[in-house]
Structure 1
Amino acid sequence: MADEQRSYLMAYDINDDVRRSHVAKILQSHGERLQYSVFLLRIRPSKLLKIKASVEDEIDSDTDSILICDLGINDHAERSMLFLGKRSYRDTMIPTII
């Protein structure tokens, strides 16, 4: 059971647009975006270590901040979350005019 899937809430506060975009892509590929900078990941602890290492490679530890909350096993995490309003966040595609 040590490698059972768990739920993690990850949030970031990153100053640089490029670094922020890279971290968002990493988290988006492994979880659900709940708010602009908040993600819910349902993964095994071993996968979290890999994601954490990838994120650490992208950020500037002097100015950026990442929050990781272990919500426990998936069943317990779902019951402990309360959403007000819409549950998930969707990026809007804004056309770029050159």
Structure 2
Amino acid sequence: MRSADHLYVVTYDVRDPKRWRRLYKAMQGRGAWLQLSVFQARLSRRGLADLREAVSAVIKHDEDHVMILDLGPADDVKPRVSSLGKTFEPVSRHTIIV
């Protein structure tokens, strides 16, 4: 069964260190940390809406900048990434049993 999830890259520039930490914490659990202010996330439409709401609650809209790049359907996207140093692995879908 194909998923409706999309693969996203979320990058941000937040001026205040306290807001940066709050945004970093808000991103944890929603995506995989790649670099200082860069996450990748596999999200449904609802997950994207929740992410936007969480980010919006943290940032100052007149000072900070967050970009959410939609790479397309997660099952079909084949990111072409040049990675020096650590290897890059796209986020995959995992079953979580609670």
TM-score scaled by length of structure 2: 0.79
Identify the residue that residue 82 of structure 1 maps to in structure 2.
Answer: 81
Amino acid at match of 2:29: S
Identify the residue that residue 59 of structure 1 maps to in structure 2.
Answer: 59
Give SS of 1:83's match. Answer: coil
Instruction: Give RMSD over aligned pairs.
Output: 1.5
In the TM superposition, what is the alpha-carbon distance from 1:74 to its structure 2 partner? 1.1
What fraction of aligned residue pairs are identical, expressed as a percent?
29
Aligned pair in 2 of structure 1 residues 50, 18: CA closer, same or farther (>3 Å)? same
Identify the residue that residue 95 of structure 1 maps to in structure 2.
Answer: none
In the TM superposition, what is the alpha-carbon distance from 1:87 to its structure 2 partner? 3.2
Give SS of 1:61's match. Answer: coil
Give SS of 1:52's match. Answer: helix
Mapped to 2, the partners of 1:87 and 1:61 lie a distance apart of 33
Give SS of 1:75's match. Answer: coil
Q: Deviations over 1:1-58 (max 9, x none)?
A: xx71111110000001111011111112211111110100001011111110111011
Identify the residue that residue 73 of structure 2 maps to in structure 1.
Answer: 73
Give SS of 1:80's match. Answer: coil
Give SS of 2:76's match. Answer: helix
Kindly report structure 1 stretches of 4+ aligned residues shifted beyond 2 Å. none
Identify the residue that residue 16 of structure 2 maps to in structure 1.
Answer: 16
